[in-house]
């Protein structure tokens, strides 16, 4: 497999910038594209065919949860990780049934936590630490 292509979906530009940096810390991963709404996410996923999607739950238009359902209906092999500011116990009920691989609070999103979710997939997503990159839970 070549690089792991990642689609970042969030309506806030500052978070997309942080997510781009996070993806850059993992060698062999690259940002394939970005989207700001649920509808844009569905269209971008169809066009770009990413391996991984980092998907905000609260988006303009359709939610990240509904966008995840639509994307996985057409691309069952893509891995979606939901992100938001919710505590896990406060997630909308349908977040657990939309097909996403997992959930990470935005403030807890690190390369290691993202990889941990992806390692649970069969087959796991490949990764290697980026030279000089951050490769632990605390960053």
Model confidence pLDDT, tens digit, residues 36-78: 999 999 999 999 999 999 999 999 999 999 999 999 999 999 9
Average pLDDT, the chain: 85
| Least confident interval from 9-18, 19-28, 38-47 | 19-28
Count CA atoms within 13 Å of residue 61 on its CB side. Answer: 15
Total-model pTM: 0.85
Distance in Å from the first CA to the final CA of the chain: 27
pLDDT of residue 133 exceeding 90, the answer is: no
What is d(CA 39, CA 61) in angstroms, rounded to the nearest whole number?
A: 7
Averaged pLDDT, 28-42: 96
């Amino acid at each position: 497999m070549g690089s792991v292509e990642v689609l970042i979906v969030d309506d806030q530009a500052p978070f997309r910038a942080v997510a781009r940096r996070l993806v850059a810390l993992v060698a062999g991963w690259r940002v394939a594209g970005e989207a700001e709404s649920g509808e844009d996410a569905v269209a971008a996923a169809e066009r770009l065919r990413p391996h991984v999607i980092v998907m905000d739950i609260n988006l303009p238009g359709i939610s990240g949860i509904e966008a995840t359902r639509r994307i996985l209906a057409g691309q069952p092999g893509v891995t979606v990780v939901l992100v938001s500011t919710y505590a896990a116990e406060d997630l909308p009920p349908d977040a657990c049934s939309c097909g996403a691989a997992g959930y990470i609070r935005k403030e807890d999103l690190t390369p290691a936590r993202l990889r941990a979710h992806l390692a649970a997939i069969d087959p796991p997503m490949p990764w290697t630490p980026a030279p000089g990159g951050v490769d632990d839970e605390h960053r």
